[in-house]
Structure 1
Amino acid sequence: METKNAPYQLDRIFKIRRIKNTIDLSDSFSIVNKKESVANFDAEIYKVTFSTIIQQKIKNFDLFLSGNELIDDQEIENLKESLGIVIAGDGSLFEILDYKTDFTIQFDQENSSFLESDEVRNGLIVFRK
């Protein structure tokens, strides 16, 4: 009897730490076919959604990041223009340098789990002015 290849199974485990205005994901990892891998997490692309209210309307901006790449200068500029949020860093460690109003950061929830902390609930971080 021939067995079919098992489907590729990927789950991201986000260990998100917030230290003041710095977001640290350096302890995050992926589980691929039941094996833990930091390298696979670093190679993965995940979505981060910034949300704020501007003129009484919710505005969102999505960034697609990987743990081992710097955030693109154009994306940094687009986020600044769209929501007034200035960031610097890479997909595993970035800092919020400036922001105009309260906002949230929601990390990718698809195939993802989050280790909860006082600062992070289900991949959501809140910044208040």
Structure 2
Amino acid sequence: MTHDDAGQLVAIAKHIQDLDELIAQLLKGLPRVKPWHRQIARHLADVDRQLQVLRMTVSMEKQGAEILQAAQELASACRLSAVALMGTRADATTRAAVNLVADLAERIRRAIAEMEGQGRC
């Protein structure tokens, strides 16, 4: 493993940790009063499950293609959460947080795809 690989792995791990913390805070702080609250909570719970799948895939030292697939499914779930929020009356802070969730997941997916493409995953 090169110094560059180690740096990229550290960045991926940090993004995963940041995503995990952000999802936990969103789920904790989101009221379940209105239908859109419940809908976004369901989407975020799915994102949380996909994040756990990614972590398990990595910890079980699966093949790079399986890790990439888990990262792609995570990014897809995050994009779906952001899209689901578009037609709601969500406040700007919630919208920004969900967009950040989608951005972090996409960064994770891109970094893993890059490593997989170079045969380093």
**TM-score if structure 1 supplies the norm length?**
0.31
More helix by share: 2
More strand by share: 1
Higher relative contact order (CA 8 A, sep 6+): 2
From the CA coordinates, give the structure whose radius of gyration is larger: 1
